[in-house]
Amino acid sequence: MNDRRIRKAIFPVAGLGTRFLPATKSIPKEIMTLIDRPLIQYAIDEAREAGIEEFIFVTSRGKSALEDYFDESPALAAELDRKNKTELAKVLESTNMDSGAIAYIRQTRPMGLGHAVWCARRLIGDEAFAVILPDDVIAGQTSCLKQMIDAYQQVGGNMVAAMQVPKNKTSDYGILGATDTSQRIVPVNAMVEKPSPETAPSNLAVIGRYILSPDVLSALDGAGLGVGGEVQLTDAIAKQISANGVYGYRFEGQRFDCGSKAGYLQATVAFGLAREDLRDELMAYLYDLVPSQVLAS
Ligand code: G1P
């Protein structure tokens, strides 16, 4: 077997989603929709396109709607069939997962992203794996994770998706240090979680796609608390710089921060404009609306 094959992906979905209260009082943030597909569906589609076969969700209390979402709905499928709603039946079918392909594990205490990933260690075992943060939605020709897996086949080690961010935003991200950031694959020499602009080693930020060696899970064993009093994944990956190597991958595609309201709204507009069934109506609306808003401001 090719030892650089990536078969498993972890989806950390235990967060409380407080930025989207009151909606997240009763719906998990990952079930909120961009147009008509829940955020989690975009993450799953991306993973499937990249060849992932096992999907591991790290959940928490209040996330049962997420588990239900992945159950097949034979009654609904039969009803759509009966009414000859073939297109909708296909849409529904595209969300079905193979039996046994999904595992749910609970993070019993909110101790950060590093801790959430570590909770899945027994399901990962001793092989390299992917991590996808569903808040980061990435639109592009080829899925971001697929691009990364192709690059990982060449270089191995550990890989994180990377993107330049404005210098004043470094404290929102894990930030990479590197001597040459001009290539698509960037060898990393430092990784810092949420540094201030003054101390940040660069403005090349980690975006929520990772390919990690199982050594990262060992580094998370008994890991101390980092920034924000949480166990940080960034800190555990940083330990791999001198061991197996860490690479930033400057992906092709547009990333939307659906963990923020503004990013969510931008993604909704962009995905709406990309949809044939919505484009014309939405475009006409924006065409009328935007100039009047600009004039009024
Ligand atoms: C997490 C990671 C951070 C990364 C970011 C990408 O932060 O800890 O390193 O840059 O995701 O979205 P969070 O957004 O959960 O605070």
pLDDT confidence bin for 295, thresholds 50/70/90: confident
Say whether pLDDT at 142 is over 70.
yes
Secondary structure string (H, E, C) spanning the chain: CCCCCCCEEEEECCCCCHHHCCHHHCCCHHHCEECCEEHHHHHHHHHHHCCCCEEEEEECCCCHHHHHHCCCCHHHHHHHHHCCCHHHHHHHHCCCCCCCCEEEEECCCCCCHHHHHHHCHHHHCCCCEEEECCCEEEECCCCHHHHHHHHHHHHCCEEEEEEECCHHHHHHCEEEECCCCCCCEEECCEEEECCCCCCCCCCEEEEEEEEECCHHHHHHCCCCCCHHHCCCHHHHHHCCCCCCCEEEEECCCEEEECCCHHHHHHHHHHHHHCCHHHHHHHHHHHHHHHHHHHHHC
Mean pLDDT, range 226-249, rounded to an integer: 94
| Residue 271 confidence (pLDDT) above 90 | yes
Q: Grade residue 2 by pLDDT with cuts at 50, 70 and 90.
A: low
| Amino acid 1: pLDDT | 42
| Gap from CA of 5 to ligand 1 centroid (Å) | 25
pLDDT > 70: what percent of the chain?
99
CA of 276 to the centre of ligand 1 (A): 32
- What distances in angstroms separate CA 27 from CA 24, 44, 71, 163, 253, one per listed residue? 5, 18, 17, 30, 29
* Mean pLDDT confidence for 265-284: 96
Instruction: State whether the beta carbon of 134 lies less than 6 angstroms from ligand 1.
Output: no
Question: Whose Cα sits closest to atom 6 in ligand 1?
Answer: 207
Mean pLDDT of the chain: 93
Q: Report CA(213)–ligand 1 centroid distance (Å).
A: 19
Give the pLDDT mean for 80-92.
90
Bridge pairing between strands 190-193 and 158-164: unpaired
| Ligand 1 in reach of 174 Cβ (< 6 A) | yes
pLDDT digits (tens, 9 = 90+) for 115-129: 999 999 999 999 999
Q: Does the CB atom of residue 193 touch ligand 1 within 6 A? A: yes
Q: What percent of the chain has pLDDT over 90?
A: 75
Radius of gyration of the chain (CA): 20
In CATH terms, 8-259 corresponds, of 1.10.15.40, 3.40.50.1370, 3.10.180.10, 3.90.550.10, to 3.90.550.10
pLDDT per residue as tens digits for the range 7-34: 999 999 998 888 999 989 889 999 999 9
Distance from Cα 191 to the centre of ligand 1, integer Å: 12
In this structure, the residue with its CA closest to atom 10 of ligand 1 is: 173
For residue 180, count CB atoms less than 10 angstroms from its CB and return exposed for 0-12, middle for 13-18, buried for 19 or more: exposed
Q: Specify the pLDDT at position 256.
A: 97
Q: So what's the pLDDT on residue 255?
A: 97
136 lines ligand 1 (CB under 6 A): yes
Which of 131-135, 168-172, 290-294 is least confident? Answer: 290-294
Write down the pLDDT at residue 250. Answer: 97
pLDDT per residue over 34-59, tens digit each?
Answer: 999 999 999 999 999 999 999 999 99
Given a cut of 70, whether residue 184 has pLDDT beyond it is yes
User: What is the per-residue pLDDT for 94?
Assistant: 87
Identity of the amino acid at 237: I
Domain ranges of the chain: 8-259, 260-297
